Amino acid sequence: MALIADDAADRAEQLLLLTGRLTALVDAEGAALARGQPLSGEGASDELRRLANAYRLEMARIREDRSLIAGAPRPLRQRLQDATAHLQVRLDIYAAALFAAREITEGLVRAVGEEVQRARRGPAGYGAQGTYADAGGVTPVALDQRA
């Protein structure tokens, strides 16, 4: 979805609003992760995805054709540049929080799977050479979203 702007100043103002809303959404999601709360409902995530996609497409258009924004007043372009830099910092922090949450989640799933396998294996018996026999094989584990 591309922005529909009357002129360069209008485009810059729309991008400034879009950048501000993206920053607010990213901050809210990052704060929820920091508190250990689940991410917001589907509505906010959908909005974040849609706005991020619109932002990405518009920035690609501007990168290809600088005249789309070149006619905007210098103070407005500077505010947009500052807002974009701030958004990038917030996105880096958010990405680090998402990475940490993913690592924790994967670690928990791995630990649960290992514990299930240990519990199913049961006590080890002696094998033919007088050592503990390994039950071997893979035990399937199914987890749903409530697990």
Which tens digit of pLDDT belongs to each residue from 103-136? 888 999 999 988 888 777 665 666 667 666 655 5
Distance CA 131, CA 45 (A): 54
Q: What is the mean pLDDT of residues 57-72?
A: 91
pLDDT at position 130, please?
A: 66
CATH number, domain 8-121: 1.20.58
Q: What is the mean pLDDT of residues 13-27?
A: 93
pLDDT at position 76, please?
A: 93
Which tens digit of pLDDT belongs to each residue from 35-47? 877 666 555 678 8
The whole-chain average pLDDT of the chain stands at 82
Global pTM? 0.69
What backbone phi and psi angles, to 5 degrees, belong to 146?
Answer: -85, -15
What percent of the chain is predicted at pLDDT more than 90? 37
